[in-house]
Amino acid sequence: MVIKMKDYIRKVNYYETDKMGVTHNSNYIKWMEEARVYFLEQMGYGYSALERDGIALPVIAVECRYKHSSTFDDEVSIHVTVAEFHGVRLTIDYTMVNIKTGDVILTGKTTHCFVDREGKPIILKKRLPEFDRILKEQTKKCR
């Protein structure tokens, strides 16, 4: 059963803008993390739950393509999908859209590796077979 995911909505704070009133580019990576946490929580496997099970999901790569700027008070919808999942490695895609204008602000992706408390890669199917199944279903949905 594929879970229908809700987009993460983020309002641009004044302190996230620069002297020109434009959102500083570094904030988008933080928003990707916020959206990813929300996305995983919707599946029932948020970071807190994973860490309780001795699993970490560090970022091993980030890619951003800035398309349009956002400014103070804009509301941004962040759509998150599973791009690839191969049991150990997970790649997540992000699309950020200005809700008012419909402009695509950013497209990006993060790549992660499931590891144990010692930082050694783990095969998710062996540790959390249900989460492995959900991620595979979400990946198929995105294709």
Which residues of the chain fall below pLDDT 70?
1-2, 140-143
The CATH number of 8-142 is: 3.10.129.10
Give the start-to-end residue ranges of the domains of the chain.
8-142
Closest alpha carbon to 35 in 5, 64, 13, 61: 5
Tokens of 27: 């904030």
Tokens 């959206």 — which residue? 35
Question: What is the reported pTM?
Answer: 0.93
Q: What is the pLDDT of residue 4?
A: 82
pLDDT digits (tens, 9 = 90+) for 71-104: 999 999 999 999 999 999 999 999 999 999 999 9
